[in-house]
Amino acid sequence: MELLLLLLVGILYSAGIFLMLRRSMVKLLLGLILIGNGANILIFLTGGLTRGKPPIIKDSQTTFTDIYADPVPQALILTAIVISFALTAFAIILLKKVYTTTGTDDLDSLNIEDLDI
Amino acid sequence: MITNFILAPILMHLFTAIMLLFTMRYLRLQRIISVTGNIIAFVLCLRLFFVTLEHDYLIVQIGNWQAPFGIIFVSDTLSAIMVLLTAIVSLSVGIYSTAAINPSRIRFGYFMNFHFLIMGLLGVFLTGDIFNLYVWFEIVIISSFVLLTLGGKKMQMEGAIKYVSLNMLASAVFLTAIGILYGITGTLNMADLAVKIGEVENEGLVSVTALLFFAGFGIKSAIFPMYFWLPSSYHTPPSAIAAVFGSLLTKMGVYALIRTFTLIFQPDEFIQWVFIIIAILTLITGGLGTINKKSVRRLLSYLIVCHIGYLIACMGLYTELAFVGMIFYLMHDVVVKSNLLMITGILQKIRNTIDMTRLGGFGKDYPKISFLIAISMFSLVGIPPLSGFWPKIQFFGESLKSGHYVLLGAIIFASFVTLFVMLKTWSEVFWKDSPKRLTEDIDRFAPLRKENKFALIAPIAFLAFVSLYLGLNAGQVYDLAHRTAEELMNPNHYIDAVLNGNFKK
């Protein structure tokens, strides 16, 4: 299972970077979203995958006696998902606004005003 | 000392922002609430600064969870200095904004986003938890996205798309680095990380993580191969927003670099070389970028990049005296850069352009304002006894002592370029006669009401005064910088304070 997720992380990162290098703004955004998801799965993976061991201490005990799933990565991912959700929502609106003001989806045609110094 | 007071400035800005959210429609009320909130927050930050100096380390453990497990906020000397600088800039820009930002932007929540931005910055400087640092970073960048795009002009949109995409990428890199760091150490508390990172056997993985942090923070602080988003976006928003961005947002990245590379990762030979080479390239490329610029604002954007090189160079040298110079320069740079960017706003207001070829005769028409501007410009260049002079002595001395002659050359080159472009600006904007006949209706500054003029000029005078204070009172500032450098060189005190509760050094 770890290997499968590891490959998935690799594929998400490489696909994200590939998309970011395209000239289309929509593909740029899709690339950013893929990299963000890749990072989330990476955090999930680095916490270690433990099956069926919730981090809850039983009534009869006072400490953990068995190995348990680390809850911290899940809390981190939850936070990261919420943040990337907000950022993505903002970026989509921005793209739409850029498209309506400049009338193009091509990143190379944005630099016209930067040419004159 | 364990005290909840650390959170007071952050909460004050949060409270102000919420108040502003409820009064979005009332322009006058927005201005009054924002200025009042800023003044109270300034006083709180000032108090935090002095309490920190007195007690060395202030700590608050959120929810009373013991240090490695819960989120903590720590205020040491470096944090306290950054908090104080943030308060100074936020107060001046806040007052300046009341007259400089037009009503439509205020109606769309300019002040609210401004306070959220400052709140995020204070959080970045005070937190002691690496994931919490990420969250504060995100608060800062999303507020900055809104501030940058507010208004929706074509030029702003073009700048924003680069700014937004590269900052989102930087956050993703930072998040990846945190993920790997958690995987190899199993903790997120910065002091605990500093202890655990020494026990990791796989040193290659530690180096890779360090470089990922370097890349993530490097994009945010605009260092050499990753600065291109800055000159293409910082000239687009109004000058008040540019003043906060130019002075504090890049320094946020530098602060994070300083924190991670003094506390968590002790730089080895290789990483020091990376720092030095990147610093040289940043100084040279940033310097060259300024030379052919005609617009004052674009010129300043490249100067911001160029001067980040000084700070990165000090990280590469990694000696106590280099750190003294770095801290001193950080204080000087924040104050002067924000002042100069606000000044471009005044030029725009008076002449309706910031293109050097179309400006002129400013010194004759507005001699008093020109004098104030001269103080800032010449302290940026580093003419003694103004504030830019003192840290540069440290840069020269330390790079000479450690034998990095190329770096020394780059630092001298950057200083000369700064001198050249500042003199060019001075002669073009202030000395030469105005190239076109001026009519009364171009000047939108003279017909302003008295309180608006005061709101535009007072912050500039205040920051010029702070810059003068830093220069003329260099002994005291030097002591403060020395104390910070000592703390940075000996992270054991920080670790001891956080994990064992020994707050006194």
Sort out which chain A residues have CB atoms less than 8 A from B149's CB and list them. Answer: 94, 97
Cβ separation of B172 and A32 shorter than 8 Å? yes
Q: Cα–Cα distances in Å, from A57 out to A74, A76, B380? A: 18, 22, 60
- Report the pLDDT value the prediction gives residue A117, as an integer from 0 to 100: 45
What does the alpha-carbon distance between residue B72 and residue B491 come to, in Å, rounded to a whole number? 17
Q: Does residue B182 form part of some domain?
A: no
Angle, helices B450-472 vs B367-381, to 10°: value is 30
Q: What is the complex's ipTM, to 2 decimals?
A: 0.93
Sort out which chain B residues have CB atoms less than 8 A from A73's CB and list them. Answer: 179, 182
Among B263, B248, B228, residue whose Cα is nearest residue B330: B248
Among B142, B145, B120, residue whose Cα is nearest residue B133: B120
What does the alpha-carbon distance between residue A76 and residue B134 come to, in Å, rounded to a whole number? 10
How many domains, chain A? Answer: 1
Give SS3 for B285. Answer: helix
Task: Flag whether pLDDT at B228 surpasses 70.
Answer: yes
Q: Does residue B248 form part of some domain?
A: no
**B219 CB near a chain A CB, below 8 Å?**
no
Residue range B329-372, pLDDT digits in tens: 999 999 999 999 999 999 888 888 888 888 888 888 888 889 98
Name the band, by pLDDT with cuts 50, 70 and 90, for residue A115: low
Task: Flag whether pLDDT at B446 surpasses 60.
Answer: yes
Number of Cβ pairs < 8 A linking chain A and chain B:
100
Residues B34, B90: contact at Cβ < 8 Å?
no
Taking only residues 437 to 476 of chain B, the set having a beta carbon closer than 8 angstroms to any beta carbon of chain A reads none
Here the tokens at position B483 are: 């104390």
**B168 CB near a chain A CB, below 8 Å?**
yes
Percent of chain A at pLDDT > 70 equals: 94
Q: Does residue A113 form part of some domain?
A: no
Taking only residues 10 to 69 of chain A, the set having a beta carbon closer than 8 angstroms to any beta carbon of chain B reads 20, 25, 28-29, 32, 35-36, 38-40, 42-43, 45-47
Closest CB to B161 among A38, A45, A110: A110
**B266 CB near a chain A CB, below 8 Å?**
no
Tell me the sheet residues that pair with A24: A106
> Which residue segment(s) compose the domain that A82 sits in?
2-52+69-106
Mean pLDDT of all residues in chain B?
91
- Report the pLDDT value the prediction gives residue B312, as an integer from 0 to 100: 94
CA angle B387, B392, B396 (to 5 degrees): 165
Q: How many CA atoms lie within 13 A of B229 on its CB side?
A: 22
Residues B86, B100: contact at Cβ < 8 Å?
no
The sign of the dihedral angle between the CA atoms of B105, B107, B109, B111 is: positive
Name the band, by pLDDT with cuts 50, 70 and 90, for residue B155: confident
Residue range A43-80, pLDDT digits in tens: 999 877 888 788 888 888 888 777 888 888 999 999 99
Here the tokens at position B225 are: 């191969």
**A94 CB near a chain B CB, below 8 Å?**
yes
Taking only residues 303 to 342 of chain B, the set having a beta carbon closer than 8 angstroms to any beta carbon of chain A reads none
What does the alpha-carbon distance between residue B499 and residue B253 come to, in Å, rounded to a whole number? 26
Q: Which residues are within 8 A (CB) of B461 and not within 5 positions of it... i.e. 6 or more apart?
A: B372
Residue B49, min C-alpha distance to chain A (Å): 31
How many domains, chain B? Answer: 1
Residue of B nearest to A102 (CA): B154
Higher-confidence residue: A112 or B285? Answer: B285
Residues in chain A: 117
Q: How many CA atoms lie within 13 A of B268 on its CB side?
A: 9
Among B177, B168, B184, B271, residue whose Cα is nearest residue B220: B168
Closest CB to A32 among B160, B169, B293: B169
Higher-confidence residue: A111 or B224? Answer: B224
Task: Flag whether pLDDT at B47 surpasses 90.
Answer: yes
> Which residue segment(s) compose the domain that B341 sits in?
267-490
- Which position has the token pair 């979005």? B24
Q: Which residues are within 8 A (CB) of B304 and not within 5 positions of it... i.e. 6 or more apart?
A: B222, B230, B234, B246, B250, B286, B337
Compute the average pLDDT of residues B209-226.
92
Q: Does residue A35 form part of some domain?
A: yes
Give SS3 for B238. Answer: coil
- Report the pLDDT value the prediction gives residue B459, as an integer from 0 to 100: 95
Sort out which chain B residues have CB atoms less than 8 A from A40's CB and list them. Answer: 175
Residue range A23-39, pLDDT digits in tens: 899 999 999 999 999 99
Residue B434, min C-alpha distance to chain A (Å): 21
What does the alpha-carbon distance between residue B504 and residue B53 come to, in Å, rounded to a whole number? 11
Q: Does residue B160 form part of some domain?
A: no
- Which position has the token pair 């650390």? B6
Name the band, by pLDDT with cuts 50, 70 and 90, for residue B294: confident
Residues B414, B307: contact at Cβ < 8 Å?
yes
Counting beta carbons within 10 angstroms of the beta carbon of residue B205, is it exposed (0 to 12), middle (13 to 18) or buried (19 or more)?
middle
Cβ separation of B157 and A28 shorter than 8 Å? no
Q: Which amino acid is at B445?
A: F
Give SS3 for A43. Answer: helix
Q: Does residue A64 form part of some domain?
A: no
Cβ separation of B175 and A43 shorter than 8 Å? yes
Mean pLDDT of all residues in chain A?
87
Q: Does residue B311 form part of some domain?
A: yes
Among B263, B124, B125, residue whose Cα is nearest residue B196: B263
CATH number of the domain that A32 lies in? 1.10.287.3510
Q: Does residue B261 form part of some domain?
A: no
